[in-house]
Amino acid sequence: MNILVTGAAGFIGSNLCERILRDQPDSVVIGIDNMNDYYDVSIKEWRLQQLNSFGSRFIFIKGNIADKKLIDDVFSKYTPEIVVNLAAQAGVRYSIINPDAYIESNLIGFYNILEACRHSYDNGKPGVRHLVYASSSSVYGNNKKIPYSTDDKVDNPVSLYAATKKSDELMAHAYSKLYNIPSTGLRFFTVYGPAGRPDMAYFGFTNKLIKGEKIQIFNYGNCKRDFTYIDDIVEGILRVMAGAPEKSMGEDGLPIPPYKIYNIGNNQPENLLYFVEILQEELINAKVLPENFDFESHKELVAMQPGDVPITYADTDPLERDFDFKPSTPLREGLRKFAIWYKNFYLNNSCR
């Protein structure tokens, strides 16, 4: 089976590709990534190195999903049965500084993927069996009701990033309805783990703490996040990939859109201050920070940032019901793995 993964050099994409290559010996993974420098490209290169060890079962294409011709050519050449679109400009705060990147990757790029899926059925070809794509917990904005349910109305995004992710869900719905493309959108909740994204708080905090700088904890520490470990996210994606929404016809003779949305989150929000305390303990255990590290003098409680939300909390009942899966990695275990990876990558240099 040919599986196309966009954003293959990214945090979630590379971990997903690795699991597929390891567990599904009959699958070939075609990975696309433009290797942009939004964060340290050496991490993306390191992730690709891990994937290259699978030889010809991993085909990497360096390119932009906003390049329609490239996407059309990739679909014609490899005729993927499953497409997982993870390429995107991520990050809430960066969408305030560089909105163009969000429009290009998250809207034009995703539109090209949808169009290519649509034409995969041309001339009676079997085409794409399932399109799975990344949405985000950001679509919930300042939702007051917790936990966040996919039945909640999410029409009030508080960042352009969130607006593009919600738009992706809407475009996917239209394409599912019009062209009967089985599609599933996944709203991920604050994903963390080894070789994660340096723009995210736990990674940025670590970079600062080792330099002896102060870290800023927003909303005076009254922020809660449903931190979700990378392996749980990957397990969730894999299960969903294998369970495409069924195609069926409505009474009007037109397709009922084979369209689903799920949350993948830990279903257990933790206070940011608690998270940072565990992070600090695990950084000491991994010898990234010295044993006598004075954490108190390195933290500063500051006000909320534009685009941020006070809490994220995933209702994961539908995921459990349909895929018998719920994330379960304890925070300490996940942060321990991150701290050990960080030590090897940056301080021992043994990963490079």
Q: What are phi and psi of 134, to 5 degrees?
A: -80, 125
87 is a site residue for ligand NAD (CB under 6 A):
yes
Q: Which is nearer to ligand NAD, 164 or 176 (CB)?
A: 164
351 class by beta-carbon count within 10 Å (0-12 exposed, 13-18 middle, 19+ buried): middle
- Least distance to ligand NAD, CB of residue 123, Å: 28
139 is a site residue for ligand NAD (CB under 6 A):
no
What part of residues 34-53 is at the interface with ligand NAD (CB under 6 A)?
34-36, 44
- Least distance to ligand NAD, CB of residue 9, Å: 4
Burial 25-56 (b: 16+ CB within 10 A, else e): eebbbbbbbbeeebbbeebbebbbebbeebee
Q: CB of 280 within 8 A of CB of 209?
A: yes
Q: Which is nearer to ligand NAD, 104 or 281 (CB)?
A: 104
Contacting range for ligand NAD; rule: CB under 6 A; set: 87-95, 308-316, 318-326, 338-346: 87-95
* CA–CA gap between residue 325 and residue 317 (Å, rounded): 9
- Least distance to ligand NAD, CB of residue 88, Å: 3
- Interface pick for ligand NAD out of 21, 32, 139, 241 (rule CB under 6 A): 32
- Least distance to ligand NAD, CB of residue 103, Å: 11
Q: Using alpha carbons, list the distances in angstroms from residue 253 to 13, 121, 175, 250, 259.
A: 38, 19, 17, 5, 17
Please count the other Cβ atoms lying within 10 Å of the Cβ belonging to residue 193: 24
136 is a site residue for ligand NAD (CB under 6 A):
yes
Q: CB of 143 within 8 A of CB of 154?
A: yes
- Interface pick for ligand NAD out of 30, 65, 114, 278 (rule CB under 6 A): 65
Q: CB of 189 within 8 A of CB of 312?
A: yes
Contacting range for ligand NAD; rule: CB under 6 A; set: 120-128, 129-137, 316-324, 332-340: 129-137
Q: Which residues contact 28 (CB under 8 A, 6 or more apart)?
A: 1, 2, 3, 56, 57, 58, 59, 78
105 is a site residue for ligand NAD (CB under 6 A):
yes
Complete DSSP assignment for 217-285: EGGGG--EE--EEHHHHHHHHHHHHT-PPPPEE-TTSSEEP-EEEEEES-S--EEHHHHHHHHHHHHHH
Q: Which is nearer to ligand NAD, 66 or 223 (CB)?
A: 66
What part of residues 150-209 is at the interface with ligand NAD (CB under 6 A)?
188, 190-191, 197
31 is a site residue for ligand NAD (CB under 6 A):
no
Residues annotated as catalytic (active site), given as ranges: 161
CB-nearest residue to ligand NAD: 10
314 is a site residue for ligand NAD (CB under 6 A):
no
- Least distance to ligand NAD, CB of residue 10, Å: 2
- What does the binding site for ligand NAD look like in residue numbers (CB under 6 A)? 6-7, 9-13, 32-36, 44, 64-66, 86-90, 105, 109, 134, 136-137, 188, 190-191, 197
